[in-house]
Amino acid sequence: MIRVLFFGPVAERVGSSEIQVTFATGMRLQDLHRQMQGMYPAAFEIVCFTAMNGEHVRDMQLPVSDNSEVVFMSKFSGG
Amino acid sequence: MIRVLFFGPVAERVGSSEIQVTFATGMRLQDLHRQMQGMYPAAFEIVCFTAMNGEHVRDMQLPVSDNSEVVFMSKFSGG
Amino acid sequence: MNGRTTKAEVRIQQEDFSQDEEISALRASSKRMGGIATFIGCARDFSEGRSVAKISFDAYGSMAEAEMKKLRAEAIARFTLLDARIVHRVGVVGAGEQIVFIAAGAEHRAPALQACHWLIDELKLRVPIWKKEITPEGESWVTSHP
Amino acid sequence: MNGRTTKAEVRIQQEDFSQDEEISALRASSKRMGGIATFIGCARDFSEGRSVAKISFDAYGSMAEAEMKKLRAEAIARFTLLDARIVHRVGVVGAGEQIVFIAAGAEHRAPALQACHWLIDELKLRVPIWKKEITPEGESWVTSHP
């Protein structure tokens, strides 16, 4: 299982702050992104950062391991 | 009478924080400066600013009026 | 060091913070500290032409705290600070209330002031926190960096 | 404005100051204040290779206060601040204690941070105050601007 988290404006557009996605062998971040984008197109209009297991990820080719925590995030507005 | 004030390191070298100088008609700041410098040469080695009646003065040709407060000051070190 | 228990240098919390308390914790780390620069971000009652009653913050808490810790360590190394502290509130903050606190202490003033400016700029870019403005007309998430 | 009596925006005083009190007075001036930058100068216990126990300040009080008021007005105009405060202690200050406090509040963070940096730099150049370091080996007036 992959835990996918959403926060702030993305969570609002998804209508949920966490969903579970079944892990598949050979899965890459871009596969997960594409799958989520298909399910929540409005939310993914504003997604511009991805984090895996608490770290910023720039390379979407990165493989996803089982039990990972992946977060698709919009631009930050803290401070 | 002119009140001449000294502060910090200048006062320490003069050995006093205030002296009275007799006013003379036509007196300019440079005259007062020269007179004080003759009396307290060690103090005037470190004097680099002059104030008259609470305002910075750059033009030492300025006339001094009677009852003025003149301050000969070393470089500031506040903050 | 002096027997008092002080709060962590980097925190995300709902409650307000005290500058006096933060500065005193910062100063306790070294008597060589000649300059301390701080920045406090407050909730404005007006933004882009609308009045704002409250601001609500959502955060990816574990990552936000980890990023703030990295920022603190980077600032200490980059500006040769003696110490630094970062506190960010989450939850609901009323207009005029404090949101974020940054403090940087160094031997001299220039590195402290530069580090403080750098820290708040980087925090806005790197730390996963989102604000929603609550106005009399409704609510909306903020997406720009003013 | 809100019925509390607050201290003057620009002061020279012997006693220590509270950041919480100063910041709360600053914030009371406007709810449009989004960014507050502060600078605190502290007495270091070490300067140019010697340990320093205390610092003693002498000031040309009336002119120092007038210059600090001019600095505040100039900073408010130059950086479009909503408010600013400057407090400088005189008399004897122990190692590690606070000497000077500057706060600048603006709608956004950049002008507040820039104004704070400008104010402490200009204060050191323009305000007639002198410090003497009291060390175990003796006393000496400071003449440089580190």
Q: Is residue A18 helix, strand or coil?
A: strand
All residues of chain D having their beta carbon less than 8 Å from the beta carbon of residue C20 are 18-20
Residue D1 lies in a domain: no
Q: What is the DSSP string of C7-63?
A: --SEEEESS---HHHHHHHHHTT-TT--EEEEEEEE--SEETTEE--EEEEEE-HHH
**Number of structural domains found in chain D:** 1
Task: Report the relative pairing of strands C138-141 and D54-59 from DSSP bridges.
Answer: unpaired
Please state, as a whole number, how many other Cβ atoms lie within 10 Å of the Cβ of residue B73.
Answer: 23
Q: Would you place residue C4 in the very low, low, confident or very high pLDDT band (cuts 50, 70, 90)?
A: low
Count of beta carbons in the 10 Å neighbourhood of residue D55: 24
With bands split at pLDDT 50, 70 and 90, how would you rate the model's confidence at C40? very high
Q: What is the DSSP string of chain D?
A: --S-----SEEEESS---HHHHHHHHHTT-TT--EEEEEEEE--SEETTEE--EEEEEE-HHHHHHHHHHHHHHHHHHHT-SEEEEEEE-EEEETT-EEEEEEEEESSHHHHHHHHHHHHHHHHHHS-EEEEEEETTEEEE-----
Give the amino acid at A16: S
CATH number for C37: 3.90.1170.40
Tokens standing for residue C21 = 């308390």
Helix/strand/coil for B21: strand
Return the pLDDT at D6.
77
The answer on pLDDT for D5 being more than 90 is: no
- pLDDT tens sequence across D43-79: 998 887 889 999 999 999 999 999 999 999 999 999 9
DSSP three-state, residue B25:
coil
**Contact pairs from chain A to chain C, CB under 8 Å:** 74
- The shortest C-alpha distance from D34 to chain C (Å) reads 5
Residue D48 pLDDT = 79
- Confirm whether D26 is domain-assigned: yes
d(CA B43, CA B49): 13
Among D62, D125, D143, the strongest candidate for a mutation testing the B interface, having the largest count of B CBs within 10 A, is D143
Chains A and B touch (3+ CB pairs under 8 A): no
pTM for this predicted structure = 0.93
Flag whether residue D145 sits within 8 Å of chain B, measured between CB atoms: yes
Asked if C128 and A12 come within 8 Å (Cβ–Cβ), the reply is no
Domain annotation covers residue D2: no
Helix (H) or strand (E) holding C115: helix C109-126
Tell me if C127 is assigned to some domain: yes
Give a yes or no: residue C4 inside a domain: no
Residue D95 CA: distances (Å) to CA of C24, C145, D92: 14, 40, 10
Q: Are A71 and C60 in contact (CB under 8 A)?
A: yes
Query: Which two structure tokens, joined as six digits, stand for C103?
Result: 């403090």
Q: Per the domain annotation, does D4 fall within a domain?
A: no
Residue C119 lies in a domain: yes
Of C39, C42, C146, the CB nearest to D113: C39
The pLDDT, as a whole number, for residue C5 is 63
Domains along chain A with CATH numbers: 2-73 (3.10.20.30)
List pLDDT tens digits, range D105-124.
999 999 999 999 999 999 99
The whole domain housing C18 covers: 10-142
Residue C49 has pLDDT above 90, yes or no: no
